[in-house]
Amino acid sequence: MILTPLLQHQVDALEYLKVHDPCALFMKYGTGKSLVALAYADHIKAPLVLITNDKTNATDTWVEQIEVHTDFVAVVRPRDKNMYDLCGYDSGTVVCVLVNYDLLPSVSDIYTNLPFTLWIGDESSDFKDTRTNRFYHLNKVVRNIPHKIILNGDPMTERPEDLFGQFKMLDGGQALGRSLTEFRRRHMQLDPLGYRWCLKRSEEHTSELQPQ
C-alpha cells in the first residue's frame, strides 16, 4: 500500500504508466519518480519487485523511500542463502529486492530464476553501453520480467546513442532498433563533415518519434 498521497504530476505519470508498459519514465530530479514507480508496483499488485541502482541509492535512498512511502518489504542485496526465502512472504506483501549494478553480475544466475513481476531500473544511463559485462548480466536477469520501468532525470548524458542501450534493455529493441547500426540508420545522420552522428531533423522523422 502507498502511504503518501501523490501530487498531481505524479498522478499524471502513474496514469501514463498504466497504459504504457514497458515504460521509460524520465522526470527531473526531485520530482518523485521513485514514488511513482512504487505506486505502479502497488497498482499491478506485484509480489516480487527487482530494483536496480548504483550502490549508494540501492542501500540508502531506495530503502528510505520504501519505508517512508509504503508498507512494502525492502531486502537489500540478498545472496544465495536467503534468495529463495523471498517467495515465502504472505500473499499481498510486496517484496522489493534492491541490488546495485556492480554486484548484479555475481548473482545474475540466481536472480534469473526468481519470479520477479516488475523491474525498476533506476539511473538507466548506468546501463547505456550494450558492450559491457554489466549490460549482459542485467539483460540476462530482466529480459523475461513481464513489467519494466526505467527511471532517469537525464537519460542522454553524452550523446544520442546513450538512449539506445537503455531502450534495448527495456523492450528488446522494439522502439529504437535491435542494433546500434539500425538505431543510427533510422534516427541519425552524419554531420556535413562526416565526423560524428547527429539526430535527424526532418519533419517526417520528428512525427515518427511522437508518442503514440
DSSP output for 8-25:
HHHHHHHHHHHHSSSEEE
**What is the model's pLDDT at position 186?**
87
**What is the model's pLDDT at position 80?**
57
- Taking the model in full, what pTM does it have? 0.87
Find out whether 122 and 148 touch, Cβ atoms under 8 Å: no
DSSP 8-state secondary structure symbol assigned to residue 59 = I
**What is the model's pLDDT at position 90?**
63
Nearest in space to 16 (alpha carbons), one of 6, 5, 25: 25
**What is the model's pLDDT at position 82?**
59
Element (H, E) at 83: helix 80-83
Peptide bond just before 22 cis, omega within 30 deg: yes
Residue with cell 541509492: 57
DSSP 8-state secondary structure symbol assigned to residue 58 = I
**What is the model's pLDDT at position 206?**
46
pLDDT along the chain (212 residues), means of 10: 97 97 94 97 95 84 95 83 59 87 91 94 94 96 97 82 92 92 87 80 53 50
Element (H, E) at 66: helix 62-69
**What is the model's pLDDT at position 195?**
79
Residue with cell 539511473: 123
The Cβ-side half-sphere exposure at 110, using a 13 Å CA radius, reads 17
Cell of 123: 539511473
DSSP output for 152-200:
ES-S-SSSTTHHHHHHHHHHTTTTT-SSHHHHHHHHEEE-TTSSSEEE-
> Could you tell me where the beta strands, DSSP code E, fall in the chain?
23-26, 48-53, 73-76, 95-100, 118-121, 147-152, 188-190, 197-199
**What is the model's pLDDT at position 132?**
95
Neighbours of 88 (CB within 10 A): 8
**What is the model's pLDDT at position 84?**
55
**What is the model's pLDDT at position 46?**
94
Contacts of 15 (CB under 8 A, 6+ apart): none
